Structure 1
C-alpha cells in the first residue's frame, strides 16, 4: 500500500470522513498558523511542529528532540483523532514537516498517508479552500510507543558497521564546507550522502518508484539492507524514511541528527566525500 495520496485521491477520501492535518513549517517561518488561517484544505486541523511534534530540550539533544508517546497522543487527541481514523497530512514545503507527522503517527499505530506535492498540489488540482480554523471535537485516540525505530547517538555512531547510514542534508553541508545552523560542519563518520531533494520532481511530488530505487541503490541500499537516516535535526530524515517506505524498505531515524552530534563533545567529525 502506498504511503502517499494524490490530490484527486484526497478529494475522494474527504467524503469518507478522512481526518486531515496541516503541518506547515519552514526554518524561516516555523509557525505556519497564519498561512493556515488564510487558506487550507477544508476540515484540516493545524499542527504546530515545534510544540506538538517535538519538545524543548538541551542543545546536546538536538534542535527537535523526539517527543514522548504521551505528548504526541495528547496532541493527536487535541486534533480530534480517534482510534481507527484514516489521516492525511500535508505541508507547504517539500513534504518535510508532513513526513515528521507521518513518522510519529504511523509508529503510534495510526493509518496515515502524506499528500503528494502538499498544499501546492492541492491548489494546482483546483481543490476547495477553507479559511479560518476548522471546527472539530477532541478525540480519544490511543498511540503505541513511537520511539522503537529511533536511534540513540551511540547506535547512530555504530550503524555504518552493519548497514547504510544516510545523511539527507545538502552535499555542501555533508562535506563540511558550510554549516548554517549547527556549531560544527561535517558529517558522522561512515555516513553516505543522499540529499532528500533527489527524490522530488520540480513540482514537489515524488519521482517514480524506479527512480527512487535507483537513488538508494547508488548508495548501496537494496531490499534487505539495514538503513537509518539523519539530517540536521530529524525533520528531513523522516522524509527519507517515508521515501524508503514507499519503495518497501524499512528505516530507522537518528532523531538527534547532526544538531545533537555536533553539540556533543568528543564525537568524531568527518569531512569531504563519503568516508568509512
Structure 2
C-alpha cells in the first residue's frame, strides 16, 4: 500500500470528485494559529486536524511534550472527521511535513489502514499553481472507524534503556550535538544514538528523496533494516517523518519512542551525551 500521494494526483482526484477524506494537520494548542490558518486557506474539501489536541495527550515530565493520544480522544476526532474504512485518508500540513507525518503515524498506529501523506504538502500544492479555499472546511459525514490502538511498533523509555541495537535520533544536527535547544530542558542526545536529521530526507521542494537516496542515507549510519532500530526525536514528529522515509526506502518500520528526548532529558538521572 502506498504511503505518498503527489500534488498532481490529489489535484486530479479532487477535480474528479473523489471521496478522499483530506485532513489539514495544523498546530493549534500552543500557538493558537492552527484553525485561523486553516480558515484562511486550505486545500479544497479538507477538514481541520488540530494536531496538538487530536494527536497528543497532556504533556508532562513523565510522558514528554506530546505523548500519544487516548482511544477516547481519537474516537471523538474520528467521529468529527467522519473516518470511514472505505475512504482513503490524505494528510498534509503547511509547515515542513512534520505534523502530517505525525498524523500518518498516529492514524496507522490507531488502526486506520489506508492513510497517505501529501508529498510536499500545501506549500508545494500552492507552488504548483493549485488554488486554496478559505472558510471552515468540509462538513463530515458519518463514518464507521473507531480507534484500535497498537498497530505500529512502539518503544518505552525502559525499552530504550535496555536497547542494544541502533537508536536513531531524527532531530536537526545542532540539537543532537547539544549546540542549541529551544524546546526541551537540556541539550544533547541519548547516549549511543546516531543522527539522521529528518530535513536531510527531503528535497528542496519538501518532497521525499528517492528510495535509493534514502537507503544510502540510512546505510551511512548502519541502518539497512528496521530490525532492532528504535527511532526518536523531541516528541515524535521528526521521527515520524524518518519512519515514513525508512518505509519509502524499503527498510521497514522501526519501533518508535514517542516520548523522545523531551521525556528522556526531563529525568535528571538519565545520562546525556553531546557532540556529533
User: For residues 81-115 of structure 1, what are the alpha-carbon distances to aligned partners after superposition, in whole Å with 9 as ceiling and x for unaligned?
Assistant: 12222000000112100011100111222210000
Cα distance, 1:214 vs. partner?
A: 0.6
Query: Cα distance 1:123–1:198, how it changes in 2: closer, same or farther (>3 A)?
Result: same
Query: Cα distance 1:252–1:178, how it changes in 2: closer, same or farther (>3 A)?
Result: same
User: CA separation in 1, counterparts of 2:151 and 2:181?
Assistant: 28
SS of 2:12's equivalent?
A: helix
Mapping 1:12-161, distance limit 5 Å: 12-14=12-14, 15-25=17-27, 29=31, 31-110=33-112, 111-134=114-137, 135-146=139-150, 149-159=153-163, 161=164
TM-score (norm 2): 0.92
SS of 2:246's equivalent?
A: helix
Structure 1: segments with no counterpart, 5+ residues = none
TM-score (norm 1): 0.92
User: CA separation in 1, counterparts of 2:67 and 2:226?
Assistant: 29
20-29 or 121-130, which moves further after superposition? 20-29
Cα distance, 1:148 vs. partner?
A: 5.1
193-202 or 134-143, which moves further after superposition? 134-143
User: CA separation in 2, counterparts of 1:22 and 1:124?
Assistant: 17
Instruction: Indicate if the aligned counterparts of 1:60 and 1:259 stay in contact, CA closer than 8 A.
Output: no
What residue is the counterpart of 1:203 in the other structure? 205
Question: How many aligned residue pairs are there?
Answer: 271
Mapping 1:220-259, distance limit 5 Å: 220-223=222-225, 225-248=227-250, 249-259=252-262
What residue is the counterpart of 1:8 in the other structure? 8
When the two chains are superposed, the root-mean-square deviation of aligned CA atoms in Å is 1.9
User: For residues 203-248 of structure 1, what are the alpha-carbon distances to aligned partners after superposition, in whole Å with 9 as ceiling and x for unaligned?
Assistant: 1111111111111001101136422211111111111111111122
SS of 1:59's equivalent?
A: coil
Structure 2: segments with no counterpart, 5+ residues = none
What residue is the counterpart of 1:267 in the other structure? 270
User: CA separation in 2, counterparts of 1:238 and 1:87?
Assistant: 17
Instruction: Indicate if the aligned counterparts of 1:25 and 1:93 stay in contact, CA closer than 8 A.
Output: no
